[in-house]
Amino acid sequence: MKNNFWKKNQKQIIIAVMVLVIGQSLISSISLKVLLNLTAIQIIFAGIFISVLVSFPMTTLSDTTRITKESFQKEIDYAEDIYKIHSLAVKVKKDGLLSLQSDIDVEQDTFLRDGMILLNDYKKPEVIRDILEKDIESRETNLFKAYNVFKMISHIAPSLGLVGTLVGLIGLLSNIHQPYEIMNNMAAALVSTLYGSLIANFIAVPIMVRIKEYIDKNILRYNIITEGLLLVARNDSARNVFDKMNVMLKEEKRLEYPDKRMKERNYKPYEFQL
């Protein structure tokens, strides 16, 4: 039980431990009162919110929240798509393209459903490719909106840190004869730069990289689906449909052909469910 918990949560545990290590090193070097400087917090976080709200519409920000959440929680299941399309290829060979209508009605993934509709409408393969490639471009653009939001934050956070530093230095020079105010403004000046660097390098940039990987996985999935549907449209064999999709995966991620477990004519197709 403990081993299963460790394997499932290994990454999260390591990240949590490293965060605690960094937090302990900060608190041991800087007093908590100095670290939680209200002036620095106001300049950095208010500045980030204002910049983001001015730069992007609310729809982009809501999409950013959704895509970021999905990048942490949603796993891209290539196997499900490949087995689905292989089942479609088997079904089309047996019953023709019109037999896809029942599967279209229950398919929830919009990209795959749109491709199945194109198949069902007897669209030519080149037409299907052109439509699906444009769909992929549109989806990729929408996914990159979240990437661009965090890219902007990674750029402006250090700059706002410098703004906080300048504000602190101005306050320091304005109160040069008041020792307490000198120390308070000096703390705000230095902590602002620290906040800006931490937000940029430990939050924005890592999330950017994660979103970029999530985008790449989605684009690969769309390309696999497109390749499979085009082969079905060309009336290629179910085996070729499976193999040409399967080879697009990394070698260690490639799937076993269903026919190795049972004969294709007796193979129970993937059941599309609500």
User: pLDDT tens digit string along 219-271?
Assistant: 999 999 999 999 999 989 999 999 999 999 999 889 998 865 444 444 455 55
Note the helical H segments in the chain: 2-29, 32-35, 38-55, 58-73, 78-95, 101-106, 110-120, 125-174, 179-199, 205-233, 238-246
Does the pLDDT value for residue 211 go beyond 60? yes
User: pLDDT tens digit string along 142-186?
Assistant: 999 999 999 999 999 999 988 888 877 777 777 766 666 666 667
- Residue 97: which of 234, 227, 258, 225 has the closest Cα? 234
Q: Which residue has the higher pLDDT, 30 or 92?
A: 92
- What pLDDT sits at residue 185? 66
The Cα–Cα gap between 247 and 242 comes to 9
Q: Which residue has the higher pLDDT, 209 or 11?
A: 209
- Residue 63: which of 198, 205, 201, 214 has the closest Cα? 214
Q: Considering the chain, what is the average pLDDT of its residues?
A: 84
67 within 8 A of 139, measured Cβ to Cβ: no
- What pLDDT sits at residue 29? 64
Q: Which residue has the higher pLDDT, 179 or 131?
A: 131
Does the pLDDT value for residue 96 go beyond 60? yes
186 within 8 A of 172, measured Cβ to Cβ: yes
Q: Which residue has the higher pLDDT, 261 or 121?
A: 121
- What pLDDT sits at residue 56? 95
Does the pLDDT value for residue 58 go beyond 90? yes
